[in-house]
Structure 1
Amino acid sequence: MLLAGIAWLIESYDIGIMGNILPLLEKQYQLNSFMVGSLATVSTLGIVLAIIPAGWLADRVGRKKMLVFGTAWYAFFSLLCGMVPSIPLLIVCRLIAGLGMGAVFPIPYAMAAELTSKRIRGSMTAVLDSFLSFGYFLAPLLALLLIPQLPTQWGWRMLFYIGGLPLLYVPVLIKWMPESPRWLTIQGRGEEADQIVTQLEQRIESRTGLALPEPGSHAGQSMPTPSRASSGIFSRAYLKRTLMMCISFACILFIFYAIQTYTPTVLLKEGYGISNAFLLTTIIVLASIPGKYAAAYAIERFGRKFTLISFTLIAAASALCFGFAHNGALALLAGCVLSFFGIGVDPVIKIYGAEQYPTRMRELGIGVFEGVGRLFGGVLAPFIMAFLLTSFNVAGSYVFVAVIAVIGVCVVAWLGTETRGVVLEKASNS
């Protein structure tokens, strides 16, 4: 899980690069608004294009292979981004790099579902997701440290060169990241699966000095062969789950992008000045990290549905407060609460989605709701928020964010079932 968390951290750094170099590129190349918008969204578009076929492939060639391949892919093209001579080529390289990011994004929380106990798979996913937040914070931190020390034409390139360093992490994944034993089992590779599980058991017994208990009654039982009527994510058996996840994930991801992308813009519109706006934004984004650790506790203590619904409702209320705040202290408080709960809920919806599908199509299911969510929450959200801020001012924009959050809550409350403490095979086939 540490290996998976680091993979997410270095990927989120790569995703966070562009927001920190856009002002430099805009100044150096006198970019128009279309070019700025293209640079801001093109890697997310690559993620959307790749995430569904990558999920389908991960169900066929394995989780580990897709994680390794995707990491090598986006790191290589990130390195190329630092060498390009023109903005159009930079846009192309960012799009292609996004394809690799899309291949990597769903893998860690699918592996958390498949490699950890039913008692901790929810909290483990929340801990993993906090690595994303550290990566998003690492990008502006390195930008702050490096860009002022380098000539204008080299500062942004250096951030991309650092984004190519994950190529050195690929051999680490190849050597030490295990394949999912559940996936190996359904592929008929039971001996390999047993070898991985046996090694894990031996390490635990060596570390604790105690013999592990006998497996539970569910262990070793094979799942029934799926009928044609229940063989796909849009079949009658899984259609309700797929619709629930596509809608709720898109709604919750909209909150994330509203915070991550538009907080500085909103604060500048409210007249806080550049320095204060970026300082307040940094504090607000950092509030998401303890939010994810709070979710790690709540998801196993109170369950998936309760945590999803309560966190998202609090985020909706704080979005309203943030939109109508007219002084710095209130804006900071409301923004931190919005980030704590609105981004803190992300790992809950991710593991809840992974639990909806059986191993044979888990990555495809994740790819579909991630793809839909990132299309509406990631690619379209910046344009929607830009329109709302122009047409309805800050207050009206965050009323819309709150409404979107409530829609996500209603869908989970209506269509969702609780999966806390349930064996993964039972949760995904019930």
Structure 2
Amino acid sequence: MSTTTHIEYAIPERIDRLPLSRETWRIMLLAGIAWLIESYDIGIMGNVLPLLEKQYQLNSFTVGMLATVSTLGIVLAIIPAGWLADRIGRKKILVIGTAWYAFFSLICGLAPTIPLLIVCRLIAGLGMGAVFPIPYAMAAELTSKRIRGSMTSVLDSFLSFGYFLAPLLALLLIPQLPEQWGWRVLFYIGGLPLLYVPVLVKWMPESPRWLTVKGRAEEANWIVSQLEQQIESRTGLLLPPPENSGGQPASTTSKVSLGIFSRAYFKRTMMMCISFACILFIFYAIQTYTPTVLLKEGYGISNAFLLTTIIVVASIPGKYAAAYAIERFGRKFTLISFTSIAAVSALFFGFAHNGALALSCGCVLSFFGIGVDPVIKIYGAEQYPTHMRELGIGVFEGVGRLFGGVLAPFIMAFLLASFDVAGSYVFVAVIAVIGVCVVSWLGTETRGEVLEKAANVADSSILQQSISDSHTF
């Protein structure tokens, strides 16, 4: 069968039979680099906080504001950005968001006072919020059902490289620079992604699934046809015929706006909001407060940065382990097992009183507690149909980052000031257990399913009632 006959099939069927190829890796690399440079920007604050606290004699409230204000910007932007991505496209929001946060990260380095730095971090967070949900939605919509989970895990590892880069550069640069310049240079580096924006404009494709839903079938066909032709030309082999997904083709899926809080999707939305918040709480406890905790334990600033770098880098193999587990054992099992191990390791980390034990427990906590992040992300992307996928992602990301990102650092700052490190990480473990219970109770398995099928509610009577309700209003 020649490539020209592929157009008789629906776009999802054609995507689902594409192999893991150089062309797929190129698209994922573009999305991954966008995440890497964003995660570096997010990772900056945890490493400059001790310097700012020392230089400006900051109180606990100001420290909490600096730690959380960019996340507050993410929360404010992420839902409207998701809504916009469902209307004007994934690629446009990715490009605009990347340029936005890179520019304001550069401005942060020029801030003359702490209040102005807080304002700049808030504004930069708006761009971060726009970018965050895009790469894993693109991974879900541009890769086949056989690999979308593992590809999201590999893609998410770029975040860990960025988080690792922040303490690594802090370790290398800050001891060599005057105290008043070290933190500024880290922000200047955060402005370099401005140079990456033209690359995204030229090489990142739009989601063919989104184009199809928006009635732009010719553009969607052109993108998928290019991938098909490139793969067949390079390998010298014809692609296998697309599988019949059964039922209604995805390209003609109903666009009735059921709403993410409708009866049909309410359970999924609640599960994602709660579980995402719990898992993000673990992440922010590690990413933002590990240097502070280690300094509190008396390790010294250089040792604290070194240990933090090692702990954060342990999340990278954790995400690769998740890439294997998510396709081998399923989304739900991987979520529950990784988060449970993270809860136990948080307890041990809190009670560790020597460097070797703290490092070991911190690495296990990072391996599983951050390693699970891509699993919850692709699982969330699979909960909603294409016409409202980014909005759904935006809502659970926004709610999750409000409670897991904005409130978590304030809670951790209060716990560390009022109790010892052990008490703080007992709280982290409890939060992790809550996330495990919610996924166990409300979650369903989506491994190996066509994306459009995974996103459909199982109970057709509920779906019909929701459609009827939408007509009523």
TM-score by length of 1: 0.95
Give the aligned partner of residue 335 of structure 1. Answer: 362
Q: Tell me, yes or no, if structure 1 residue 389 matches structure 2 residue 416.
A: yes
Q: Which string of whole-angstrom CA distances, capped at 9 and with x for unpartnered residues, describes residues 39-63 of structure 1? A: 2211111011101110011000000
What secondary structure does 1:204 align onto?
Answer: helix
Q: Tell me, yes or no, if structure 1 residue 247 matches structure 2 residue 274.
A: yes
Q: Which string of whole-angstrom CA distances, capped at 9 and with x for unpartnered residues, describes residues 133-166 of structure 1? A: 1111111222233334444443332222221111
Query: For residues 263 and 22 of structure 1, do their structure 2 counterparts lie closer, same or farther at Cα, with a shift above 3 Å needed?
Result: closer
Query: For residues 25 and 272 of structure 1, do their structure 2 counterparts lie closer, same or farther at Cα, with a shift above 3 Å needed?
Result: closer
Cα shift at 1:227: 4.6
Quote the Cα distance in structure 2 between the aligned partners of 1:29 and 1:392: 24
Q: Tell me, yes or no, if structure 1 residue 225 matches structure 2 residue 254.
A: yes
What secondary structure does 1:247 align onto?
Answer: helix
Q: Tell me, yes or no, if structure 1 residue 280 matches structure 2 residue 332.
A: no
Cα shift at 1:88: 1.9
Amino acid of the structure 2 residue aligned with 1:225 = S
Give the aligned partner of residue 65 of structure 2. Answer: 38
Give the aligned partner of residue 301 of structure 1. Answer: 328
Cα shift at 1:324: 2.3
Amino acid of the structure 1 residue aligned with 2:436 = V
Equivalent residues in 2 for 1:97-112, closer than 5 Å: 97-112=124-139
Q: Does structure 1 retain, via aligned residues, the 8 Å contact 2:47–2:291?
A: no
Partner of residue 84 from structure 1, selected from 111, 127, 131: 111
Equivalent residues in 2 for 1:274-423, closer than 5 Å: 274-423=301-450
Aligned-pair RMSD on alpha carbons?
1.7
Q: Does structure 2 retain, via aligned residues, the 8 Å contact 1:5–1:129?
A: yes
Cα shift at 1:191: 0.1
Q: Which string of whole-angstrom CA distances, capped at 9 and with x for unpartnered residues, describes residues 71-107 of structure 1? A: 0111111122222332222211111111000000000
Equivalent residues in 2 for 1:142-221, closer than 5 Å: 142-218=169-245, 220-221=249-250
Quote the Cα distance in structure 1 between the aligned partners of 2:340 and 2:63: 33
Amino acid of the structure 2 residue aligned with 1:253 = L
Quote the Cα distance in structure 1 between the aligned partners of 2:450 and 2:245: 8
Q: Could you list the runs of 4 or more consecutive aligned residues of structure 1 that deviate by over 4 angstroms after TM superposition?
A: none
Give the aligned partner of residue 11 of structure 1. Answer: 38
Q: Tell me, yes or no, if structure 1 residue 60 matches structure 2 residue 87.
A: yes
Cα shift at 1:420: 0.4
Number of residues paired by the alignment?
428
Q: Which moved more, 1:332-341 or 1:181-190?
A: 332-341
Quote the Cα distance in structure 2 between the aligned partners of 1:266 and 1:200: 48
What secondary structure does 1:213 align onto?
Answer: coil
Amino acid of the structure 1 residue aligned with 2:337 = S
Amino acid of the structure 2 residue aligned with 1:170 = V
Q: Does structure 2 retain, via aligned residues, the 8 Å contact 1:223–1:425?
A: no
Q: Tell me, yes or no, if structure 1 residue 424 matches structure 2 residue 451.
A: yes
What secondary structure does 1:421 align onto?
Answer: coil
TM-score by length of 2: 0.87
Quote the Cα distance in structure 2 between the aligned partners of 1:272 and 1:153: 22
Q: Does structure 2 retain, via aligned residues, the 8 Å contact 1:47–1:100?
A: yes
Tell me, which stretches of 5 or more residues in structure 2 are unaligned? 1-27, 458-473
